[in-house]
Amino acid sequence: MTRVFYRHQALLSGLISFAVILLVWQLVVDLGFVKAFFLSTPTRMATEFMRQLKTGEIAANLSISLYEFAVGLGLAIAAGGVCGVLASWSRTLEAIFEPFVWFTYSSPTIAFYPMFIAWLGLGAPTIIAIAFLFAVTPIYANTLSGIKNVDQDLTRAALSFGARKTDLFIKIALPGSVPILVAGLRLAVGRALTGVVAAELFGATAGLGFAIAYYGQKLKTTEMMVNLVLIVICGVICTQILSLLEAATDKWRTGPGR
């Protein structure tokens, strides 16, 4: 029993603290210290979750949000990756892309939301565009710096064996920049999710962010918080998937094997 405890100590400690917080949350409301209006309770939210699940509300909102997230992130990976590779080959292209990087990094992109609505209408295309803009910069910047900062000693060694440009790219630059590419992906996933939710909050007709804004304006705390928790769960699942990806690409650091 103690051995089982030690092996999973981190996980168990996390679960216990989580359970304690849920319990305290439930008690402060049930015992009347805080009104349910401000905090709701875990049990109320569970009941409400089941209701929204039955009415199909959750399925509808979750699927539209995930769709917008996936398309926005996918476009960002494609565009950011391709532009990053091209810019790593040409200084001129890098200089051309540079102002856009400053722009998207330093400006609150969400402030351009009204313009996107004017261009693309109120709905998925606008939200996808916002998610794309949020996510594209870290993908581009990390692809560029990963490929550009390739180890010059490795390049020289490869050249001495008659490496061609494609060899340098495929056998050195790409595998060498995997860690920084994954780091860029991690940033992009977080930013794409933020982009989707923020855009949905401002004005949309469906999605988890829309549900939060909708129930929030009606002062329905429990209904709103069910959707909030769903977003948190999505975020956690995404980062866990990325951790697995990171571990898989980093296997060579931890043990022998080809």
**Contacting positions for other proteins (CB under 8 A):** 153-154, 156-163, 167, 171-172, 175-176, 178, 252-253, 256-258
Shortest reach from residue 247's CB to other proteins, in Å: 14
- In the complex, the smallest distance separating the C-beta of residue 221 from other proteins, rounded to whole angstroms, is 50
Q: Please, which residue, 106 or 160, has the CB nearer to other proteins?
A: 160
User: Left (φ > 0), alpha (ψ -120 to 50) or beta: where does 24 sit?
Assistant: alpha
Buried b (16+ CB within 10 A) or exposed e, 183-208: bbbbbbbbbbbbbbbbbbbbbbebbb
For residues 161 and 95, the answer to whether their CB atoms sit within 8 Å is: no
Task: Report, in Å, the least distance between residue 156 CB and other proteins.
Answer: 6
> Measured between alpha carbons, how far is 137 from 81 in angstroms, rounded to an integer?
10
Q: Give the separation between CA 42 and CA 32, rounded to whole angstroms.
A: 15
Both structure tokens of 221: 């705390």
Minimum CB separation of residue 138 from other proteins in Å reads: 23
Q: CB-wise, 2 or 153, nearer to other proteins?
A: 153
**CA-CA distance, 18 to 33, in Å (whole number)?**
20
Name which of 99 and 162 has its Cβ closer to other proteins.
162
Q: How far is the CB of 37 from other proteins (least distance, A)?
A: 55
Between residues 108 and 257, which has the closer beta carbon with respect to other proteins?
257
Minimum Å gap between C-beta 255 and other proteins is 9
- Closer to other proteins at the Cβ: 108 or 162? 162
Q: Are 26 and 222 in contact (CB under 8 A)?
A: no
Nearer to other proteins, 20 or 159 (CB): 159
By C-alpha distance, which of 176, 187, 179 is closest to 250?
179
